[in-house]
Amino acid sequence: MAKAKVLLVEDDPIQAEKAKEKLLIAGYEVIWAADGINAIKIVKTTPPDIILLDVVLPGLDGYEVCRWLKLEESTRGIPVIMLTVKKELSDKISGLNIGADDYLPKPYNELELNARIYASLRTKALQDELRAKNKQLEELLYKVEYMAITDSLTGLYNRRRFHDILSSEFERAKRYATPFALIMVDIDHFKRINDNYGHQAGDTILKEVTSIILKNTRETDTAARYGGEEFMVIMPNTNKKDAKNLAERVRSSIEKNNFSDINDQKITVSIGITGMPDPDITKEDVLIRCADFGLYRAKNTGRNKVEMMEGKDLNNFPESIAR
């Protein structure tokens, strides 16, 4: 614990000089403050490793200084040893109740003071180590949670997270009759791109399409990678007509974009749209099928198109369609 920084708060200059001398001999760096106000200023500008705090001080007494230190987020972790000539149990309890880490009556023994400083610093070091490990654990858990819900290539939510958000939005729409739209986007002839230019070029296109989708959606919308070259966008508080306008912007932006690694070949997408409220859509899977069949219609009528589907239109499509 050598060279730990000790803030000595003592109003008596003679006692302060004696204590400072002993602490310097013991190997500590010592800063002296003669009153509570200056002690707080020092702690703010030059945080010490430990504070030896006299109870009886001019202006703010030691109890008030300790209370301030323990209320402040940046200083509450600094150990405080209260020093006082008061020997009543109630005085000791008062100091401990406001957050003091230890209590030493005056006059104190030099060896006992060093032992208490060492013990407090050791406890602080263990607490700091524990906090650091907890922070690492929190960061690791966040990373694991992030990876569990995120597509590693595009950074969008993955299919699992998409279904969680869709469930919440679907239930909210049913309960409060609020509109929301669902958009399904599929890159046309994506397999041909992979075959002709390689999977690395395909990955680059997926990331660029992601960027275009995000540029054309709002912060309140949820974009997800649903499967290979398929994307989903959930648009809360949006009717199907407004969703179609957005889908047209996405389609047009992708068509006009100059994609990397494919020799200026144009990329297009087909898009299916559906949404709530819709009396014929009573389940989430029906909603998804509706968007999927809209996409199927866009593919079958020439690609590079946007098609809107309602629940009643499902009767005109078979239960399973392969694109």
Q: Please measure the distance between the N-terminal and C-terminal CA atoms of the chain and give it in whole angstroms.
A: 70
Angle in degrees, CA 6, 8, 9, rounded to 5: 145
Side by side, which strands form the sheet with 29-33?
Answer: 29-33, 5-9, 50-54, 80-84, 102-105
What are the backbone angles phi and psi of residue 218, rounded to the nearest 5°?
-90, 165
SS3 assignment, position 70: helix
> Cα–chain-centroid distance for residue 111?
47
CB atoms within 10 A of CB 273: 28
Q: Quick one: tokens of 312?
A: 């009643």
Does residue 229 have an active-site annotation? yes
Work out the burial of residue 281: count CB atoms within 10 Å of its CB; fewer than 13 is exposed, 13-18 middle, 19 or more buried.
buried
- Rounded Cα distance between 54 and 105, Å, is 10
Contact 122, 75 (CB under 8 A): no
CB atoms within 10 A of CB 164: 12
Residue 183: strand pairing partners: 233, 273
- Rounded Cα distance between 273 and 232, Å, is 10
Helices 110-149 and 159-176, interaxial angle, to 10°? 80
Q: Which of 10, 169, 208, 229 is catalytic?
A: 229
Residue type, 213: I
Residues with a known catalytic role: 229
